């Protein structure tokens, strides 16, 4: 029964976050609907923008995995209070938290819409590509570490 309640709560949180984020994005002009750019924007930066968003789209669904793994590790931590194992679990939880935060910060700060100069937009998108690749790397590494426990 507790598991069903926790899963229901998780689903509700994810749904509320997704709805709130979409609403927040529209209110502040941060609509990251990259499909709208595919045909409407014929600039040379369209492909790069799509590549950046493809990486985001690849790892964004893993935010739920991060939450689930973190909750599982917290439960293991309650059951496993001895030495090295405790440190490993705490380290994995910290890495999951950091990866989650990195994705949220990247999404909040990603704002290519206001850049009109194509050269500046290209530079911005190149930098964002590096950032989102790092976010992906950190998320996947944190998930792998947590699953190993």
Q: What pLDDT, in 10s, does the model give residues 55-110?
A: 999 999 999 999 999 999 999 888 866 677 889 999 999 999 999 999 999 999 99
Collect all residues with Cβ–Cβ distance below 8 Å to 58 and sequence separation of at least 6.
136
Residues of the chain with pLDDT > 70, as a percent, come to: 70
pTM of the complete model: 0.71
Collect all residues with Cβ–Cβ distance below 8 Å to 84 and sequence separation of at least 6.
none
Radius of gyration of the chain (CA): 18
């Amino acid at each position: 029964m507790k598991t069903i309640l926790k899963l229901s709560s998780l689903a509700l949180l994810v749904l509320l976050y997704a709805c709130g984020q979409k609403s927040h994005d529209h209110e502040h002009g941060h609509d990251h609907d990259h499909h709208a750019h595919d045909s409407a924007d014929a600039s040379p930066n369209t492909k790069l923008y799509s590549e950046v968003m493809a990486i985001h789209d690849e790892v964004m669904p893993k935010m739920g995995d991060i939450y689930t793994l973190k909750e599982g590790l917290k439960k293991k931590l309650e059951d496993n209070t001895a030495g090295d194992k405790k440190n490993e679990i705490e380290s994995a939880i910290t890495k999951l938290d950091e990866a989650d935060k990195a994705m949220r910060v990247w999404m909040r700060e990603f704002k290519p819409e206001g850049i009109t100069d194509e050269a500046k937009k290209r530079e911005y998108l190149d930098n964002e590509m590096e950032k989102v690749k790092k976010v992906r790397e950190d998320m996947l590494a944190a998930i792998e570490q947590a699953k190993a426990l």
